[in-house]
Homo-oligomer: A and B are copies of this chain.
């Protein structure tokens, strides 16, 4: 089972990957066969190649993440709230998001889900 320390480090590593705009740093947090559902209800990204392409596109918007409140750790899950700021077609957009990460025993993320929708976006 991943520890609270491993899960906390992964979440901070995720924020840092966006800060640096480095998709490989984000991908390194995930298991080879990980699944990403971002946002919830959209097609899954499966495995490192699809996940890298997804984060490279996300980071191309200049998206930066700011955690809000403590990371919640429940057995093999971490859940965390944050605010994203990014730029699309010259407009600064803010998105309020809650992510859940599920971890394997090696401390890698095997499932990521991002909860947000149009009601959580401002500046569009």
- A residues adjacent to B (C-beta < 8 A): 4, 39-41, 68-70, 72-81, 96-98, 100, 114-117, 119-120
Contact = CB atoms under 8 A, between A and B. Distances in A.
Nearest to A80: B98
Q: Is the interface of A mostly helix, strand, loop or mixed?
A: strand
Contact of A40 (B41, B74, B81): B74
Ordered nearest first, which 6 A-B pairs have the shortest CB separation?
A41-B75, A79-B115, A40-B74, A79-B98, A72-B115, A81-B81
Contacts of A76: 41
A74 B39 contact: yes
Contacts of A77: 40-41, 115
A97 B71 CA distance: 9
